[in-house]
Chain A
Amino acid sequence: MMEPGLYQILFISAALFFTGVYGFLTRRNLITMLMSVELILNSVNLNFIAFNKYLWPQKMDGLFFTLFVIAIAAAEAAVAIAIIINLYRSHNSIDVENAEDLKY
């Protein structure tokens, strides 16, 4: 078996990213689409940390970007869930097909 290194972590991260993309394309429920976006953001974080660890160990920039991405993902999830619950109140469903009249 191969010794784990940068390539193995990039493989995990790419697999997770495209899993998230698959979920985003096939799901039609807003909450499950939000979960797919979380998977995508996590794969990006994993990439930042792996590059930081293996290519630029003398700096910590990847680590800080990961921290900021986590903070922004938390804000995004909170706003998205507020919108989803508001949509459920007015439409009694959180299907994306019903979300097209969100602007009214």
Chain B
Amino acid sequence: MNGSTIIFYLLAALTIVCGVLSVSTRQIFRAAIYLIFSLIGIAGIYFWLDYQFIAAVQVVVYVGGIVVLIIFSIFLTQQAGELLPKQKIGRKIFSVLAVFCGFALTMVQVYQHAFYENDGEAVKPVVANIGKQMLSTKQGGYALPFEVVSILLLAALVGCIVIAISKKEETA
């Protein structure tokens, strides 16, 4: 048992515990904070796997972007200190049952399946390699999906503006 193993299990515990707390706490602001720590745990696992670029993107986009957006919308829509309403116990029991059965089924399948590693020279996931393949139009390049995602982001931006325009200006 070395330091790397200990760090991995600490990150795993952080991710799962904060994820569970995030969906079970009744204070919505705490749920957002637990979500931040769960996402940071996942970024740590990416660092542990030596995927530094993805870890950085995870921290920047999720922790710096999406969760901040969620916290702002909590401030805009929720009264401070108000607890979320309690759920019916029946719904909770059936949800736990469904989730547990699904989890058990998935893990049984995963442990019965023998994964085999493909040989070949490993490509280092560094920024130079990522950028080259991302913008390449040759075989194995990702230029087309890149453009599709940029169109999607543009459409999402326009959609947000259209939704957020207040109705008063239309009638005036």
Contacts and interface: CB of A to CB of B under 8 A. Distances in A.
B35 A35 contact: yes
A84 B66 contact: no
B54 A78 contact: no
Given A50-B49, A77-B69, A83-B163, A4 B42 contact: no
B37 interface: no
Interface residues of A, number: 68
Given A4-B9, A11-B107, A79-B159, A39 B22 contact: yes
Contact of A63 (B4, B51, B95, B149): B51
A58 to B, nearest CB: 3
Interface residues of B, number: 81
A36 B133 contact: no
B161 to A, nearest CB: 8
Nearest to B71: A31
A5 to B, nearest CB: 10
Interface in A13-48: 14-23, 25-29, 31-32, 34-36, 38-39, 42, 45-46
A34 to B, nearest CB: 7
Contacts of B20: 19
B12 A78 contact: no
> Taking chain A's interface residues, is the majority helix, strand, or loop, or is none over half, making it mixed?
helix
A70 B160 contact: no
A63 B53 CA distance: 9
B123 A1 contact: no
B54 A63 contact: yes
A20 B134 CA distance: 30
Contact of A68 (B78, B95, B145): B145
B66 A20 contact: no
Contacts of B73: 31, 81, 84-85
Contact of A70 (B32, B45, B57): B57
A98 to B, nearest CB: 12
Contacts of A45: 42, 54, 58
Interface of A: 1, 3-4, 6-12, 14-23, 25-29, 31-32, 34-36, 38-39, 42, 45-46, 49-50, 53-60, 63-64, 66-68, 70-79, 81-86, 88, 94
Given A27-B23, A45-B58, 17 more contacts: A1-B9, A4-B5, A9-B49, A19-B16, A19-B19, A22-B23, A27-B84, A28-B84, A42-B42, A45-B42, A49-B54, A53-B50, A63-B125, A64-B133, A66-B54, A74-B65, A81-B70
